[in-house]
Amino acid sequence: MICTFFGHKDAPKQIEKTLREKIEELILTENVNYFYVGNNGNFDSMVSHILRDLSEKYDITYRIVLAYMPDEKNRFDDSSNTILPEGIESVPKRFAISWRNKWMIKQSDFVVTYVTRTVGGAAQFKQLAEKKNKTVISV
């Protein structure tokens, strides 16, 4: 089973404990063993750190899904867990994040979200996941 994540880039640190519990619950009760997360903002960063920690405890795989090729501005210290979805190289840069997010939803069975506003990317992709009948879990 596969899970992906969408949340506001200004997500507060206070949600980290609840987020960790939700992810661990998916691993233990839903047999989720593969995770996709973006790389834009606090929420994605929190998820990445949690997944790295949990991957030492459980047999899980996670991938940080990039919207752009890494360059001087967008560099990763450890690129071993990063992927570029096949086909994104032909997407205009201004549509790349949206295309990547739709790709992640398509791959996933579960979507964990932190959405407190009705506008913005996190809200938009939560709605899309619901429309695609994915199991959406709110933090």
Select the more confidently predicted residue: 8 or 79: 8
Domain ranges of the chain: 2-138
Tell me the mean pLDDT in the region 91-107.
96
Distance CA 120, CA 115 (A): 9
- Which residue from 72, 103, 95, 69 is spatially nearest to 84, judged by alpha carbons? 69
Supply 19's token pair.
């987020």
Exposure on the CB side of residue 138, measured as CA atoms within 13 A? 9
Q: Which residues are within 8 A (CB) of 86 and not within 5 positions of it... i.e. 6 or more apart?
A: none
Q: Which residue has the tokens 């994104």?
A: 88
Q: What is the pTM of this model?
A: 0.92
Q: At what angle do helices 16-30 and 42-55 cross, to 10 degrees?
A: 50
Max CA separation in the chain (angstroms) = 41
2-138 belongs to which CATH class? alpha beta
Instruction: Read off the pLDDT of each residue in 31-48 and give the average, rounded to a whole number.
Output: 95
pLDDT of 74 reads: 56
Q: Mind listing the pLDDT tens digit for each residue in 104-138?
A: 999 999 999 999 999 999 999 999 999 999 999 99
